């Protein structure tokens, strides 16, 4: 053998595909977003996650139908590209790309304080709130969390740029570790009930359920803000071509990962609010779950010393694996867009030595690295906003495909069509409007950056369109091949 | 241009399905039109194409493949009448689309004006049969057993491997560059992959897509 070789991608079973979806959903969201949800809606945060699970399930149905009928690994962008014209499908890919990149920033920002908490548990650093800035010569002092978040993104980008993605079985092990740690958290949380300690589980923490001024309606902004928590099943559809028996396993994996994730979220949020109280959870911010755990888990254990350390480790591990997942997901969207000539064609090239979509990963990394200077909340807001928008387009694609290609075969069909996708569009639109209104009042930075990204995309789209070699958008006739297509 | 193609394949019999699998393995998008429900199930199981169930000679069915975006229509059924009607209908509905027609019976020359390219699988089959009949330990390889193929691939300008030596690139396991640019020597680690030149490459089906992307951009 005269030249180096790499292994081709592995085949994924139903379990692996389910775990890919769960791995992204039970990642940063559960640790980072629960605090934010509690801050906005108090104990009703539990309803926020339940309802978000229900809303996203409708879009999950649409994803299942599209993925079972369209054998392309590009996720939502590939489905929309199949039926919409150039500009709408470009905007879709552009939004989804951004959603993943900002989610990467969000997960990195969730990783940093939890990592500091882990170091704190073992006494290496003061509590996360008291860690000072990193002072570098010639540069202004950078907060430790931002530096850590930046470093985490950088490391994962480099790893993914030079080697093909971790195989499905690794992802499965990762996800099982995460879920096990959360089960431990939930078990000890419920066991602490009646202990009389400051953070023992008690149902008094849920009374009153609604603390906001607007009563039950106050949960709507929190829903918009935390919508990103359940975006992970989209990731399953970016690897469909590697899934075994796809027409059955992809819809199953989407539903199974969503159902299990919602249950896990509800249990964890119940315990977190029941022990720490909504106010305590909100105050702890990104490290909320970890702090709650340190308070009620047993101490003085051998080796790990502190039971809470397990949960804090879980938080660190979850945020970093979720970050890894979105590094891959964002680069796949950029790669698909490059293949279609909707980004610079170079984005659709794989590297001659590493076999990875090198430029697509580096391009995604730039935005991700830039986004770690954002406040966590703004990153969450923007990512949720773009997922909501792109889910609206995906449901639109489903309806358009049904109308224009009635004879297309769909191994899985959405039940109660057209009620289901129309309802999905309506609910996503409602949350979008509420979120935009909320951003207008509280987070103009996020709103401005979001609008700026779309404007930048449309301008870039027309600039690329005018380049002579991609002006037609389509490829020319194929090279003639020397032999006839073979007989059977 | 080196981008992926959008190909409409009509008919999922032995030839059509095989063509579809190979196209999908090399990273192209395929839309299949098939009217037999049992065969439709087979294509769906293979997960290599979106499938329109219906008779492609009906304009209302053929329109559902989105001909305006298609690069090629390949009509591969075993019925000459169907192939001819689909090729003509496709040209009528989308004048820019390239048509490839399988010739089932009759003189191949008499169809030359009705499609951009004609294929006659029985002829290729006969070559393979002759190889087998004549036997011997050495023969020209056209149909390899299993999932292995030998493809002649031209390196595109600007492709990831263009201008690089084999030492500098790392191809996926399951692929091997067999010959150098001039075709008369076996490739070595210092063989340079020159843009515009063709190379014989042995690839297993599962990495055909990746190798094509490296060579063609």
Candidates B3, B172, B210; nearest CB to A339:
B3
Percent of chain B residues past pLDDT 90, beyond the cut = 45
Q: Which pTM does this prediction carry?
A: 0.85
Query: Which residue from A minimizes the CA distance to B126?
Result: A487
Beta bridge partners of A243: A12
Candidates A6, A72, A411; nearest CB to B44:
A411
Q: If you count them, how many residues does chain A have?
A: 488
Q: Is the pLDDT of residue A241 over 60?
A: yes
Residue A387: predicted pLDDT: 92
Q: Is the pLDDT of residue A198 over 60?
A: yes
* φ, ψ (nearest 5 deg) of residue A474: -110, 160
User: How many degrees, rounded to 5, is the angle at CA B80 between CA B75 and CA B82?
Assistant: 55
Say whether B168 and A479 touch across the interface (CB within 8 A).
no
Residue B145: predicted pLDDT: 63
Residue A469: predicted pLDDT: 53
Average pLDDT for chain A: 82
CA separation for the pair B84, A342 (Å, rounded): 35
Give the contacts of A6 (CB within 8 A, at least 6 positions apart).
Answer: A164, A355, B170, B171, B172, B173
Residues of B in contact with A4 (CB under 8 A): 169-171
Candidates A72, A404, A486; nearest CB to B29:
A72
- Count CA atoms within 13 Å of residue A397 on its CB side: 30
Residue A128: predicted pLDDT: 59
Residues of A in contact with B207 (CB under 8 A): 8
Say whether B50 and A4 touch across the interface (CB within 8 A).
no
Burial status of residue B133 (CB atoms within 10 A of its CB: 0-12, 13-18, 19 or more): exposed
Say whether B206 and A8 touch across the interface (CB within 8 A).
yes
> CA nearest A98: which of A395, A465, A384, A458?
A384
Estimate the crossing angle of helix A358-371 against helix A86-121, to 10 degrees.
60
Residue A400: predicted pLDDT: 95
CA separation for the pair A93, A353 (Å, rounded): 27
Q: Is the pLDDT of residue A471 over 50?
A: no
Say whether A71 and B50 touch across the interface (CB within 8 A).
yes
> CA nearest A166: which of A239, A258, A245, A241?
A239
ipTM of the modeled complex: 0.81
Candidates A6, A404, A486; nearest CB to B64:
A404
Say whether A2 and B213 touch across the interface (CB within 8 A).
no
Cβ pair A211, A278 in contact under 8 A: yes
CA separation for the pair B41, B39 (Å, rounded): 5
Give the contacts of B120 (CB within 8 A, at least 6 positions apart).
Answer: A484, B102, B103, B108
State the pLDDT confidence band at A90, using cuts at 50, 70 and 90: very high
Say whether B124 and A477 touch across the interface (CB within 8 A).
no
Taking the CA of residue A24 and the nearest CA in chain B, the distance in Å comes to: 25
**Would strands B72-75 and B98-102 be described as parallel, antiparallel, or unpaired?**
parallel
CA separation for the pair A220, A436 (Å, rounded): 12
Residue A238: predicted pLDDT: 78
Residue A488: predicted pLDDT: 40
State the pLDDT confidence band at A61, using cuts at 50, 70 and 90: very high
Residues of B in contact with A86 (CB under 8 A): none
User: Mean pLDDT of residues grouped by 10 in chain B (217 residues)?
Assistant: 80 92 89 95 92 95 92 94 95 94 87 91 77 66 70 87 90 88 82 89 85 87
How many angstroms separate the Cα of B72 from the Cα of each of A416, B13, B100? 36, 19, 7
Residues of B in contact with A11 (CB under 8 A): none
Q: What is the dihedral of CA A90, A91, A94, A98, to 10 degrees?
A: -170
Residues of B in contact with A485 (CB under 8 A): 15, 18-19, 22, 76, 119, 121, 124
Give the contacts of A444 (CB within 8 A, at least 6 positions apart).
Answer: none
Give the contacts of B155 (CB within 8 A, at least 6 positions apart).
Answer: B161, B162, B193, B194, B195, B196, B197, B198, B199, B215, B216
State the pLDDT confidence band at A89, using cuts at 50, 70 and 90: very high
pLDDT digits (tens, 9 = 90+) for B59-76: 999 999 999 999 999 999
């Amino acid at each position: 053998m005269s030249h180096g070789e790499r292994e081709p991608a592995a085949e994924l079973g139903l379990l692996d595909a389910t775990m890919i979806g769960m791995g992204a959903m039970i990642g940063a969201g559960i640790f980072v977003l629960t605090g934010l949800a509690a801050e906005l809606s108090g104990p009703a945060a539990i309803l926020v996650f339940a309802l978000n699970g229900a809303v996203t399930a409708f879009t999950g149905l649409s994803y299942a139908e599209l993925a079972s009928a369209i054998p392309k690994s590009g996720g939502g962008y590939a489905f929309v590209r199949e039926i919409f014209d150039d500009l709408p499908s470009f905007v879709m890919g552009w939004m989804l790309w951004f959603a993943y990149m900002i989610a990467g920033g969000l997960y990195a920002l969730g990783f940093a304080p939890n990592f500091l908490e882990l170091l704190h548990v073992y006494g290496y650093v003061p509590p996360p709130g008291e860690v000072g800035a990193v002072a570098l010569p010639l540069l202004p002092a950078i907060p430790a969390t931002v530096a850590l978040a930046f470093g985490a993104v950088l490391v994962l980008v480099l790893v993914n740029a030079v080697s093909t993605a971790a195989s499905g079985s690794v992802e499965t092990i990762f996800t099982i570790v995460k879920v096990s740690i959360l089960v431990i958290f939930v078990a000890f949380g419920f066991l602490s009930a009646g202990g009389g300690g400051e953070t023992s589980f008690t149902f008094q923490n849920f009374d009153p359920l609604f603390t906001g001024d607007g009563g039950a309606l106050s949960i709507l902004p929190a829903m918009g803000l935390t919508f990103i928590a359940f975006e992970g099943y989209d990731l399953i559809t970016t690897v469909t071509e590697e899934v075994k028996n796809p027409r059955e396993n992809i819809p199953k994996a989407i539903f199974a990962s969503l159902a299990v994730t919602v249950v896990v979220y509800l249990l964890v949020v119940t315990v977190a609010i029941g022990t720490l109280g909504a106010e305590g959870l909100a105050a702890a911010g990104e490290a909320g779950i970890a702090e709650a755990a340190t308070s009620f888990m047993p101490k003085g254990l051998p080796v790990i010393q502190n039971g809470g350390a397990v949960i804090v480790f879980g938080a660190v591990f979850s945020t970093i694996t979720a970050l890894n997942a979105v590094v891959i997901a964002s680069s796949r969207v950029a790669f698909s867009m490059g293949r279609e000539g909707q980004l610079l064609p170079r984005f659709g090239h794989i590297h001659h030595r590493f076999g990875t979509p090198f430029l697509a990963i580096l391009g995604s990394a730039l935005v991700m690295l830039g986004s770690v200077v954002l406040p966590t909340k703004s990153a969450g807001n923007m990512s949720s906003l773009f997922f909501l928008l792109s889910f609206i387009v995906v449901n639109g694609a489903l309806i358009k495909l049904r109308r224009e290609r009635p004879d297309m075969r769909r191994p899985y069909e959405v039940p109660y069509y057209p009620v289901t996708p129309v309802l999905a569009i309506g609910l996503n639109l409602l949350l979008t409007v509420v979120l935009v209104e909320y951003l207008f009042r509280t987070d103009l930075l996020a709103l401005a950056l979001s609008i700026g990204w779309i404007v930048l995309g449309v301008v870039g789209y027309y600039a690329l369109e005018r380049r002579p070699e991609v002006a037609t958008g389509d490829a020319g006739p194929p090279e003639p091949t020397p032999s006839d297509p073979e007989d059977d | 241009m080196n981008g992926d193609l959008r190909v409409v394949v009509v008919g999922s019999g032995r030839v059509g399905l095989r063509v579809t699998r190979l196209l999908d393995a090399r990273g192209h998008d395929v839309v299949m039109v098939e009217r037999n429900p049992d065969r439709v199930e087979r294509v769906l199981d293979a997960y290599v194409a979106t499938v329109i169930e219906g008779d492609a000679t009906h304009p209302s069915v053929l329109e559902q493949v989105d001909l305006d975006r298609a690069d090629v229509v390949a009509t591969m059924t075993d019925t000459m009448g169907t192939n001819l009607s689909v090729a003509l209908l496709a040209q009528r509905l989308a004048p820019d689309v390239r048509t490839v027609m399988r010739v089932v019976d009759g003189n191949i020359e008499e169809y030359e004006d009705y499609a951009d390219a004609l294929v006659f699988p029985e002829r290729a089959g006969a070559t393979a049969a002759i190889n087998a009949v004549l036997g011997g330990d050495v023969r020209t390889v056209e149909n390899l057993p299993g999932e292995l193929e030998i493809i002649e691939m031209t390196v595109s300008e600007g492709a990831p491997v263009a201008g690089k030596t084999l030492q500098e690139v790392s191809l996926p396991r399951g692929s091997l560059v067999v010959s150098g640019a001039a075709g008369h020597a076996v490739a070595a680690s210092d063989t340079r992959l020159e843009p515009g030149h063709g190379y014989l490459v042995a690839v297993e089906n599962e990495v055909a897509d990746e190798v094509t992307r490296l060579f063609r951009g």
